[in-house]
Structure 1
């Protein structure tokens, strides 16, 4: 197995929910984790708590819809640590309305966060990883990339697109030692669902830490092995057959 000790990891949307669970799991595995989030009031306390435990985690203010902020943020990480070993494209957003109610501005916002930003982030770190001869990009997709339900057109479009991006990056990265994995995550007990759907039964959802630990498992595979796609769903997942 590989080790994450000393690996530099960038996690978008790292301030809460699944992102926070990923940051904690990878920091506990010995990684130097940068929790990037537009909401520093979430990311800073999280990373401070981890540092208080003797782990290496740092907050980075980042609006992933701003290309210049992405460039500056990545450069800051490279200046401080000399490399980026892992990028986890985790940040996501949604709006639960019908196609008729979906405004073009909302459509653009969702696609910008869920698909355009992972492309820009991956495009920025890809040459760094090629130069290193190693690296791993993890794209957090969703069961929404495999099936469809009403009132989630932009979310489905973005996650199906993210799956396509992830597999194309996988093809392009392999000759250069760069691994790419898509995580098809089922429903989790996170604010992303629970804040928007207060009537949702949390018992049918999974602990986000389970998905975070799956990402850690994927990153710990031997250098000669890559997992292009893995599905992690709760036992009672309602959006999966």
Structure 2
């Protein structure tokens, strides 16, 4: 096998959760371009239909399902249906997630639990559902979408940081527990990425925009395209001896102490 073939996903079935738009959509698009069959889910039919239309517009025949990834019974039914209708999943990307920006003292416990449920419990549930099929198939790739908040704290994101820190350790534990079955579990930690959700923050005069650019050695926001190469690497045979690793795609923020005040 030559080096180019090691990065191919031809013949692989990839499930990317919550991939109707944004980072999940970009990763799934990259996988399709690398040869994979794409399966995705979202929380309701409206979002699934929106995603199917977006995939169709870029020439991808994706398979969309409605599934709440926090509901273990629904996830098990979903994965079973995918295996019957499309095939056993080779690649899982736990992308679905939420964030609630609320100061800790103002955050209700139910809001904290909701973030933990979606951002940490759901990756556990979905991974647990796909691992048996991967074991039978003799290989598998699980990629958890972590965050710089897997390493850092910040105002108003106590629940998100707790969940993403937990997801980092879940990643390492899956790698530890199932590596002997030729299953690799790694994470991607995006930096600050240009998405529709961050558009209001990215105007030239916005203080947060200036803050992010000053803290990033690359001196820019990341794009969803910046995540495509790392996602393909971690899903491909090229990463078969990479396990339990979090790959931060952050333009260097985590390596940088910041500029000295003038």
Encode CA deviations 1:149-176: one digit per residue, 9 max, x unaligned.
1111000100000000000001112100
Given candidates 225, 236, 261, the residue that maps to 1:209 is 225
Is the aligned partner of 1:93 residue 2:110?
Answer: no
Unaligned runs of 5+ in 2: 1-5, 214-219, 258-262
- 3-state DSSP of counterpart to 2:141: strand
CA contact (8 A) 2:12 2:37 kept: yes
Change (3 A) 1:177 1:94: same
CA contact (8 A) 1:143 1:240 kept: no
Change (3 A) 1:192 1:114: farther
Q: What is the root-mean-square deviation of aligned Cα atoms in Å?
A: 2.3
Query: 1:127, CA displacement in angstroms?
Result: 1.3
In 1: Cα distance, 2:84 partner to 2:171 partner: 27
Change (3 A) 1:66 1:58: same
Q: How does 1:188-203 map to 2 (within 5 A)?
A: 188-194=193-199, 199=206, 200-201=208-209
Given candidates 61, 64, 83, the residue that maps to 1:78 is 83
Query: 1:14, CA displacement in angstroms?
Result: 0.3
Is the aligned partner of 1:162 residue 2:167?
Answer: yes
Q: Which residue of 1 aligns with 2:251?
A: 234
CA contact (8 A) 1:184 1:231 kept: yes
CA contact (8 A) 2:143 2:234 kept: no
In 1: Cα distance, 2:163 partner to 2:200 partner: 21
Query: 1:239, CA displacement in angstroms?
Result: 9.7
Q: Which residue of 2 aligns with 1:14?
A: 19
CA contact (8 A) 2:171 2:187 kept: yes
Q: Which residue of 1 aligns with 2:36?
A: 31
CA contact (8 A) 1:18 1:212 kept: no
Unaligned runs of 5+ in 1: none
Question: TM-score, length-normalised on structure 2?
Answer: 0.83
In 1: Cα distance, 2:89 partner to 2:52 partner: 18
- 3-state DSSP of counterpart to 1:84: coil
The farther-off stretch of 4-13 and 109-118 is 4-13
In 1: Cα distance, 2:202 partner to 2:157 partner: 14
Question: Bigger radius of gyration, 1 or 2?
Answer: 2
In 2: Cα distance, 1:179 partner to 1:162 partner: 15
Query: 1:103, CA displacement in angstroms?
Result: 0.5
Q: How does 1:30-69 map to 2 (within 5 A)?
A: 30-51=35-56, 54-69=59-74
CA contact (8 A) 1:48 1:58 kept: no
Size of the alignment, in residue pairs?
240
